[in-house]
Amino acid sequence: MRDSTDLQIGRTRRRGRIVEFRLLGAVEAWEQKLQLDLGPRKQRFAFAVLALHANQLVPVDRLVDLTWPTQPPRTAQHAIHVRVSRLRRAIADARPSQNDADIITRGSAYMLKVNPLSVDVHRFRALVTGARQETDDSVKVSLLRHALSMWHGPPLADVTTPDAASVLCQGLEDARLSALEECLDAELRLGRHTAVVEELTDLVAQHPYRQRLQALLMLALYRCGRVTEALDTYRATRSRLADEQALEPESRLSDLQRAILRADPVLEPPLVRTLVRTQLPHEIWSFVRTDPLSDEITVDVRDLSKWYGTRRVVNGVSFTARKGEVLGLLGPNGAGKTTTLRMLSTVISPTHGEFSVAGVPGTRQRDLRKLIGVLPENAGYPGHQTGVEFLIYHGRLFGLSRTEARERAARLLGQVGLGDRGTARIATYSRGMRQRLGIARALVNDPVVVLLDEPTIGLDPPGQRDVLTLVRTVAEARGITVLLSTHDLPEVERICTGVLILERGRLVSSQVMA
């Protein structure tokens, strides 16, 4: 059974005096508020090594290796003996009793004999072990917070070298982070997501490769209603792992991402799991610009819903868009952006509701397709064709003559900045060039409305800027209404005249951009 008295006191008592040895930060000895002198830096380093291995024999050679990792001087062993004997005197001076803490010699090894709980490292470990045995989360949290409060900086901060720290302190730092993760996990189980979300954000910034921290942050953000940020955290981690370590996220992260996308009830805090989650207002918003570019409404969507089996993935969405508008459709993965665009582009039919484009109702699919240009989410391109051939082919599909199709292909390639690459095979195009070609294809039928599903996905920042500028120019110059889906608010701010925010299939907000 855990000795709670030792854990609480965690110090060495003799004749009314209490001494604590600290290694979690600067190496120090304290008698209540009085700091005791353990000698100069190298002497304190020797003490720290012995205290880390309290009540265990530490060979002199080990002390030599830790002190001089590359080339120890010939006098190394002697120097260690001198330091240890001075240390022994310092401890004896500081201590009222020879029996309390002492350095003993056994052959060519030393041992610090001490109550291990008088050394903060060992007290920390004991508290963490105690916390792990606790089933009550609030007790667990207070034990772990107490253990963590003993850290005043990196272990052995003022005495160690980077080489020695990597040998002696790496495990300790891991132990601290694990304790912190366990503590934050328990706090989330207690429903304290609002209180810990900032701490988690800072920790994730400091330790971007600790996936448990990322998972805790995602969960805290989700429970704070910050679904987009929770999913952005996952995306950022996934790309960092792929780019820098060629790794996939652990299943704990990908499972959590999927659970967030499903809005799985298991993610609710236990205390509120049985309560109904506060819903954002279920108003049906109508998108109306305050300073319309034109009064002409080109897209009119009313109460649009899509069910897949028993799941309603788009839920009563209504909005209107005017000629020349660029509307950003923003929302986390699974919010229903693609499904909405697919209904508007007639790829799938709505389960409920209606829409029209330039007055043509969604039920007249053939007529509608002539008015719409589409850049799908995962547009595929035939690598063996040239850009010109590709656009001619699509122009012909829309009934253009060969000559018309050829002229339009040349014009569009010029407009999207591919004029000099039109005769090159698409296989030789960069990702950004393919996206621009995709936009050209979306314009080949001279549409009234263009639907772009994540047009900048996978592009680097200059590529994104290029494509967005192109979209805005197309909308302004040709009076085309553009609906584009994205996860990226800055992207929306840059070019959109308005934004529609979807969450779990519902339109929860609509705003006119400044």
**Positions in the binding site for ligand ATP (CB under 6 A):** 261, 308, 313, 331, 333-339
Tokens of 371: 């008015």
Q: For the CB of residue 298, give the shortest distance to ligand ATP in the complex, in Å.
A: 22
Exposure class string for 38-49: b at 16+ Cβ within 10 A, else e: bbeeebbbbbbb
Exposure class string for 227-245: b at 16+ Cβ within 10 A, else e: bbbbbbbbeebbeebeeee
Considering the complex, state which of residue 300 and residue 503 has its C-beta at the smaller distance from ligand ATP.
503
Considering the complex, state which of residue 133 and residue 239 has its C-beta at the smaller distance from ligand ATP.
239
Alpha-carbon distance of 8 to 176, in angstroms, equals 19
Considering the complex, state which of residue 391 and residue 468 has its C-beta at the smaller distance from ligand ATP.
468
Residue where the block lists tokens 């996952």: 234
Alpha-carbon distance of 35 to 181, in angstroms, equals 32
Q: For the CB of residue 300, give the shortest distance to ligand ATP in the complex, in Å.
A: 21
Alpha-carbon distance of 263 to 505, in angstroms, equals 11
Q: Is the dihedral of CA 439, 387, 343, 354 positive or negative?
A: positive
Q: For the CB of residue 340, give the shortest distance to ligand ATP in the complex, in Å.
A: 7
Q: For the CB of residue 306, give the shortest distance to ligand ATP in the complex, in Å.
A: 8
Considering the complex, state which of residue 249 and residue 387 has its C-beta at the smaller distance from ligand ATP.
249
Q: How many residues does the chain have?
A: 514
Alpha-carbon distance of 498 to 511, in angstroms, equals 6
Tokens of 415: 């407009």
Report, in angstroms and rounded to the nearest whole number, the Rg of the chain calculated over CA atoms: 33
Alpha-carbon distance of 479 to 125, in angstroms, equals 68
Considering the complex, state which of residue 313 and residue 499 has its C-beta at the smaller distance from ligand ATP.
313
Considering the complex, state which of residue 325 and residue 453 has its C-beta at the smaller distance from ligand ATP.
453
Q: For the CB of residue 377, give the shortest distance to ligand ATP in the complex, in Å.
A: 6
Q: For the CB of residue 193, give the shortest distance to ligand ATP in the complex, in Å.
A: 23
Q: For the CB of residue 221, give the shortest distance to ligand ATP in the complex, in Å.
A: 17
Q: For the CB of residue 239, give the shortest distance to ligand ATP in the complex, in Å.
A: 15
Q: For the CB of residue 456, give the shortest distance to ligand ATP in the complex, in Å.
A: 13
Closest residue by Cα to residue 116 from 23, 16, 32, 15: 23
CB 441 within 8 A of CB 375: yes
Closest residue by Cα to residue 158 from 291, 44, 10: 44
Considering the complex, state which of residue 188 and residue 313 has its C-beta at the smaller distance from ligand ATP.
313
Considering the complex, state which of residue 355 and residue 390 has its C-beta at the smaller distance from ligand ATP.
355
Considering the complex, state which of residue 77 and residue 254 has its C-beta at the smaller distance from ligand ATP.
254
Closest residue by Cα to residue 507 from 483, 473, 478: 483
What end-to-end distance do the CA atoms of the chain give, in Å? 65
Beta bridge partners, 58, equal 110
Considering the complex, state which of residue 380 and residue 462 has its C-beta at the smaller distance from ligand ATP.
380
Residue 353 sits at φ, ψ, to 5 deg, of 90, 180
Q: For the CB of residue 244, give the shortest distance to ligand ATP in the complex, in Å.
A: 23
